[in-house]
A and B are shown apart, each in its own frame.
Chain A
């Protein structure tokens, strides 16, 4: 069974540039999560979906971050104008039938904003 796939693995940007992260969850998983993990910290939830619907995006900085999951499968997280404070690893996870019962994580995208 294929795991959660994320791309790219790394991204390096100048402040003000845009970037998109892509996530392909485990087949059949209805719930998809995006986390931000700054260096030496635990993951912090940005947004999560059940199928194509956003369930919680209260921690997503809406002025610069956006996330979509149009068909309830793959998802894209976009940062419109990156800031140095966005430097972190962005993790995608998926689960089946139940928020946070057991999450399966991708390898993450490590973002550096210079």
Chain B
């Protein structure tokens, strides 16, 4: 079955430190992968997506993610975090079902950035 695993429920880092949030997926075809972010008291927002091509994709606010097919991973990275990056981050894969599709979501990783 298609699935997304985010092994870290909570990650705490200091402001200015680098960040990696882990995501592993299980999908039988070519994966379309997404990272969404949920800031406090706001709706989910798309950070970045990968469909094909360069395995390193750039997103908003300095985030990037790397698709590694051999490892079935799509980890999110940022070189230097800011306190405003504190939020819940979700990884998702698109599951194509016939002519339609839906997103399969991970459980999310809560990021806490200490000033």
Q: Do A and B bind each other?
A: yes
Q: Which residues of A are interface residues toward B (Cβ below 8 A)?
A: 3-4, 40-45, 48, 55-56, 91, 93, 99-100, 102-108
Q: Which of B4, B43, B102 contacts A99 (CB 8 A)?
A: B102
| A-contacting 9-mer, from B61-69, B72-80, B105-113 | B105-113
**Chain B nearest Cβ from A48, distance in angstroms:** 7
Residues of A within 8 A of B43 (CB): 3-4, 91, 104-108
**Chain B nearest Cβ from A23, distance in angstroms:** 12
Find out whether the CB atom of A100 lies under 8 angstroms from the CB atom of B101: yes
Q: Which of A42, A55, A56 contacts B105 (CB 8 A)?
A: A42
Does B22 touch A at the CB level, under 8 Å?
no
Find out whether the CB atom of A42 lies under 8 angstroms from the CB atom of B108: yes
Residues of B within 8 A of A4 (CB): 43
Does B28 touch A at the CB level, under 8 Å?
no
C-alpha spacing A4/B45, complex, angstroms:
12
Does B87 touch A at the CB level, under 8 Å?
no
Interface residues on B, range: 20 to 34
Find out whether the CB atom of A103 lies under 8 angstroms from the CB atom of B94: no
Residues of A within 8 A of B4 (CB): 42
Does B50 touch A at the CB level, under 8 Å?
no
Does B46 touch A at the CB level, under 8 Å?
yes
- B95: nearest residue on chain A (CB-CB)? A100
C-alpha spacing A104/B100, complex, angstroms:
18
Does B57 touch A at the CB level, under 8 Å?
no
Encoded as 1 (CB less than 8 Å from any A CB) or 0, chain B from 44 to 71 comes to: 1110010000000000000000000000
Does B21 touch A at the CB level, under 8 Å?
no
Encoded as 1 (CB less than 8 Å from any A CB) or 0, chain B from 17 to 58 comes to: 000000000000000000010000111111001000000000
- A108: nearest residue on chain B (CB-CB)? B43
**Chain A nearest Cβ from B49, distance in angstroms:** 7
Find out whether the CB atom of B41 lies under 8 angstroms from the CB atom of A107: yes
- A59: nearest residue on chain B (CB-CB)? B102
C-alpha spacing A40/B6, complex, angstroms:
12
Find out whether the CB atom of A99 lies under 8 angstroms from the CB atom of B101: yes
Whether A40 contacts B107 in the complex (CB less than 8 A), given A103-B46, A105-B45, comes out as yes
